[in-house]
A and B are shown apart, each in its own frame.
Chain A
């Protein structure tokens, strides 16, 4: 497997900034995805990184370092609606498949 590791749970204050980390081990890295999933709802796509660096999309940014096997999702100006589970998924082509493997997800709780 890809040994994807994310913190189980994080808490933050409304209006603050939070960084959710994801580390992984692969032998054929070919992309990393972040998804948001509210309780009882479908996961929704947030970002995709395949090259090193920072990708910014409004309040959300995603960073990748392939040499370190490390990514983070940065959420700025937190809102109560950002309380959700954040899933990291990694594509490893070593096995010949395009299908990414998901981590266990990080449950983010935003409080007033």
Chain B
């Protein structure tokens, strides 16, 4: 248990489906993130919500839509995805966006396969 819980662990969806990924943290952190991890590529930041900044990676397609209703929950809404969107989606949290010594706490990720 890492303190950051992601559901579901695995998801297979068709290109016309709509699904949502959920992330929850009970660490009292004030910043939460979505990352995409593809084989042979660096972790890619998609979205961040924090008191200091709200960043959206402009290269993320609009078929990915984040929602952060409070500091403990983060969602990633998916619709009309493409096969190249198949990847491991990681949620993370940190005390603040400027955190250093304690780093980020990651969830175990959702393995997404788009068919």
The reply to whether A33 and B103 contact each other, CB–CB distance below 8 Å, is: yes
Q: How far is the CB of A6 from chain B (nearest CB, A)?
A: 10
Mostly helix, strand, loop or mixed at chain B's interface?
Answer: loop
Give the residue name and chain of the B residue nearest to A95 (CB). B55
The reply to whether A45 and B42 contact each other, CB–CB distance below 8 Å, is: no
Q: How far is the CA of A41 from the CA of B37 in the complex (A)?
A: 12
Q: How large is the interface on A (under 10, 10 to 19, 20 to 34, 35 or more residues)?
A: 20 to 34
What are 7 contact pairs spanning A and B, CB under 8 A?
Answer: A42-B107, A45-B105, A98-B52, A98-B53, A99-B48, A99-B97, A104-B42
Which A residues fall within an 8 A CB radius of B? Answer: 4, 31, 33, 35, 41-46, 48, 50, 87, 89, 97-99, 101-105
Q: How far is the CA of A33 from the CA of B106 in the complex (A)?
A: 14
Q: How far is the CB of B36 from chain A (nearest CB, A)?
A: 11
The reply to whether B53 and A42 contact each other, CB–CB distance below 8 Å, is: no
